[in-house]
Structure 1
């Protein structure tokens, strides 16, 4: 059943891509698709002192989920899957840093933001994990991420214990950690 769903998703993904204004980063190995966005949440102060305020420009990072799920479908161990995802993210963040540094609005981009239910180990990559405050938006993100969670895990019952969270990293921290 999972392989059928992944096949259909693979066919529909280009359509999703075209409607979401996502951009592929240079290099076919980059696991992220990104877009500029304006932050709409509450003020956040990151550990490096960076302030993220409502309407600040951020780079929203999206894991290329269908590509990742196709790559992980034959791996049974959740730990091995997590290590593979971690490695992909670590190798892809220099591309995000380069995108921001070379963007015409680089001085206005405050950092990167993502939403995930996979937040273990994110701090080691430089991310800060923050709860999503608005309960309706949190529920909406949980519903939209649930199919990905079910397809990626052999323990889909655990999805009900997971909550989506924001991942933040300031542009300065991103540059310090990932500038090549």
Structure 2
């Protein structure tokens, strides 16, 4: 490999690979997920399309949902009535370049010319200058950081490959529901004309989207435009994390996912992955439960684990640890019925109870759990240290919170017998 080739690779890394990794991994200078409240944002790229965009607008109107469209300037020029309709029906119109080229393959001047042309086209149609911008494929070059003074760069937290037809609507819907979480920014595509896309792919996207919207609304989520989603976050100034904590949070969540893989931890409800579980023998002192059952060493239990990324999203939208606890109780109550389904599995017929350890346990007894102190010893010490690091991670004022009433930050064992679980939560399973 000669020096000239290495030099070209190095330049390309500096020009686009490193900047793209910086914004994709750490979110520097871009917006990719909401941090306060449950509202989620639907965004659509690559349009407008004369066949599919009208159907999409009809669907959004049917459900009284406002969304965000990142349009191509060349298509806006060709189909101005669709852009006008988007604006008139309350949707946000943003930019997606003039044509669908990656910024990595263009000079800084070419990128600016594309954007300026697109801004002029859209402003001439709706009377407003678009300021929200999503670069194609989420790829930027190093000079695009200068654009951030003029545009709000929007990426995403959920992408499901809806530009492909394989798997039909079922694949798209399953992926959307499995990845859904508070503050999600979802990217979908209302055109199949982009390089690498299937022409009929939006047909399946629209079918999946209709069913996804119905299911998501039933779970208590709301839909917001990107600017509304950002405005909601800005009301919570304290959620603006330092770079140090942002990196720490990112690494922690990566460790979380690795833990799930290493120990075979699975979601209780794939469509609402707040709780994860694994089945294992219980090791510890005997626990006397409120209904008279006992858990003794060797009993098989369902061990529960929180989805710490979802906890983080809840926490940074919470005013206090009490508010966070209320949200957790409400959310856990939605998921618990699915543990009944797990306990009914023939492979798990000898499970005695559900078991977990947490420091956020306020109100757990309302759900039927028995709370006991973790026996003192090295395991208690390590668990307490781990959970304090977790609290630092998920709580926006984690460092301060660890200093306030630190004596109250004691891990508790939560447990409920299978019989009590079915008694309290079987009806919730039937409703789902």
Q: Same fold (TM over 0.5)?
A: yes
Q: 2:346 and 2:333 mapped to 1: Cα distance?
A: 21
Partner of 1:130 in structure 2? Answer: 372
* Secondary structure of 1:130 counterpart: strand
1:52 to 284, 295, 298: 295
Residue 89 in structure 1 maps to residue 332 in structure 2: yes
Structure ranking higher on relative contact order (CA contacts 8 Å, 6+ apart):
1
2:348 to 97, 105, 114: 105
* Secondary structure of 1:33 counterpart: strand
Cα distance change of structure 1 residues 45 and 78 upon mapping to structure 2, 3 Å threshold:
closer
* Secondary structure of 1:58 counterpart: strand
Residue 116 in structure 1 maps to residue 363 in structure 2: no
Q: After alignment, is 158-167 or 53-62 more displaced?
A: 158-167
Residue 19 in structure 1 maps to residue 262 in structure 2: yes
Q: Segments of 4+ in structure 1 off by > 4 A?
A: none
Q: What 5-or-longer segments of structure 1 have no aligned partner?
A: none
Q: 1:131 and 1:58 mapped to 2: Cα distance?
A: 18
- Aligned CA-pair RMSD: 1.8
Partner of 2:404 in structure 1? Answer: 158
Q: 2:363 and 2:421 mapped to 1: Cα distance?
A: 16
TM-score between the two structures when normalised by the length of structure 2: 0.39
Residue 67 in structure 1 maps to residue 310 in structure 2: yes
Q: 1:45 and 1:11 mapped to 2: Cα distance?
A: 36
Q: 1:80 and 1:86 mapped to 2: Cα distance?
A: 10
Q: 2:275 and 2:369 mapped to 1: Cα distance?
A: 15
Residue 139 in structure 1 maps to residue 386 in structure 2: no
Q: After alignment, is 48-57 or 72-81 more displaced?
A: 72-81
Partner of 1:178 in structure 2? Answer: 425
Cα distance change of structure 1 residues 74 and 119 upon mapping to structure 2, 3 Å threshold:
closer
* Cα distance, 1:60 vs structure 2: 0.2
TM-score between the two structures when normalised by the length of structure 1: 0.90
Q: How many residues align?
A: 179
Partner of 1:167 in structure 2? Answer: 414
Contact 1:29–1:92 under 8 Å retained in 2: yes
* Cα distance, 1:145 vs structure 2: 0.8
